[in-house]
Structure 1
Amino acid sequence: MPVTFNHTIIAAKDAGESARFFRELFELPEAPSWGPFANVLLDEGVLLQFAVLPGVEEILMQHYAFLVDDDLFDRTYARLVDQGVEHWADPQMTRPGETNTEHGGRGVYFKDPAGHAIELITRPYL
Structure 2
Amino acid sequence: MTVNLNHTIVAAHDKHASARFLADVLGLEVSPDYGPFVPVTLPNGVTLDYMEAPGNIPTQHYAFLVSEDDFDEIFTRIRKAGVSYWADPSHSRPGEINTNDGGRGTYFDDPNGHRLEILTRPYGGGA
TM over 0.5: same fold? Answer: yes
Confirm or deny that 1:37 pairs with 2:37. yes
Unaligned 5+ segments in structure 2 are: none
RMSD: 1.2
Distance 2:17 2:32 in 1: 15
Residue correspondences, number: 124
Quote the residue 2:89 is aligned against.
Answer: 91
Quote the residue 2:68 is aligned against.
Answer: 70
Deviation at 1:29, TM superposition (A): 2.5
CA contact (8 A) 2:39 2:49 kept: yes
Deviations along 1:36-89, one digit per CA (max 9) or x if unpaired, are 111101122211000112xx3100111111101111111111111111111101
Kindly provide the amino acid, as one letter, of the partner of residue 23 in structure 1. Answer: A
Distance 1:80 1:44 in 2: 22
Distance 2:75 2:13 in 1: 24
Distance 1:37 1:89 in 2: 31
Quote the residue 1:11 is aligned against.
Answer: 11
Deviation at 1:13, TM superposition (A): 1.1
Pick aligned residue for 1:103 from 89, 101, 104: 101
TM-score normalized with structure 2 length: 0.92
Distance 1:103 1:16 in 2: 35
> Hey, which bits of structure 1, 4+ residues long, moved more than 4 A?
none
Distance 1:71 1:97 in 2: 20
Percent identity (aligned): 50
Quote the residue 2:77 is aligned against.
Answer: 79
Unaligned 5+ segments in structure 1 are: none
Distance 1:33 1:45 in 2: 17
- Give SS of 2:44's match: helix
